[in-house]
Amino acid sequence: MKKIPLAEGVKLKSILTKKIHELISEIHIVSHAVVEKGEKPNPSGRPLVEVETELAQVRKDSRTLDKLIYRANIDNTISFKGEELPIVEAIELASQLRAEASLYKELGKEEKERLYSTSDNIIFYHVAMYDPAEYRNRANELEKEAHRLSNLINAKNYQVEIEFDDSNYI
C-alpha cells in the first residue's frame, strides 16, 4: 500500500470532508426533478445510485484515514522540554499554551491602577492584584513556547508516514 506523510493525511481529511458535503449536495440535486404533469422527468446529472456509491466510498476512506491519523498521533512522540509527548498530547498542549498566552495578554493590557467610579465624594479605584508587565512578558514566552511546539509537531507530521492510497483524491 502507498504511504503518505501524516501531514498530507491531515490535509486529505479536510479534502474528504469537503467531498462528502459536495456529494450530499449532489444527491439533493439529482434525487428530484420538476416536471409538468404527465411528462417523464429527465435525469439531471449522474444517477442517484452512482452518487450514493461514491459517497459511501468517500465516507469509508474518511473513517479509515481518521483511524490512521489517530493511531499515528498516539504512537509517535515529540520531545519537548525534556519530556516525550504523544503527538495528540503535544497538539493539546500547544492549544493550552495559546489559550494561556491569550489570557495573560488580556491581563497584561490592564493598568495597575485606574479610576473606577466616584460616588458621594468617595473615589474608587480598580487595582490590579498583579503586575501587568509581568503578565505581558509571560504571554510572550508562552506564545514562543506554543510556536516552538507547533513547529515540532509540523516537522514530526512530515516524518511520520501512514499507509493510505490518496490517488483518488490528490
Task: List, for residues 10-22, the tens digit of each pLDDT value.
Answer: 999 999 999 999 9
Is 9 exposed, middle or buried, given 0-12, 13-18 or 19+ CB atoms closer than 10 A?
Answer: buried
Per-residue confidence band for 48, with pLDDT thresholds at 50, 70 and 90? very high
Alpha-carbon distance of 44 to 32, in angstroms, equals: 9
Of the ranges 22-31, 75-84, 119-128, which one carries the lowest mean pLDDT score?
119-128
Would you say 144 and 104 are in contact if contact means Cβ atoms under 8 Å apart? no
Task: Cite the DSSP H helix spans in 31-131.
Answer: 48-75, 87-109
- Which residue matches cell numbers 491569550? 102
Nine cell digits for residue 96: 493550552
CB 170 within 8 A of CB 2: no
Q: What is the chain's alpha carbon radius of gyration, rounded to the nearest angstrom?
A: 27
pLDDT at residue 82 greater than cutoff 80: yes
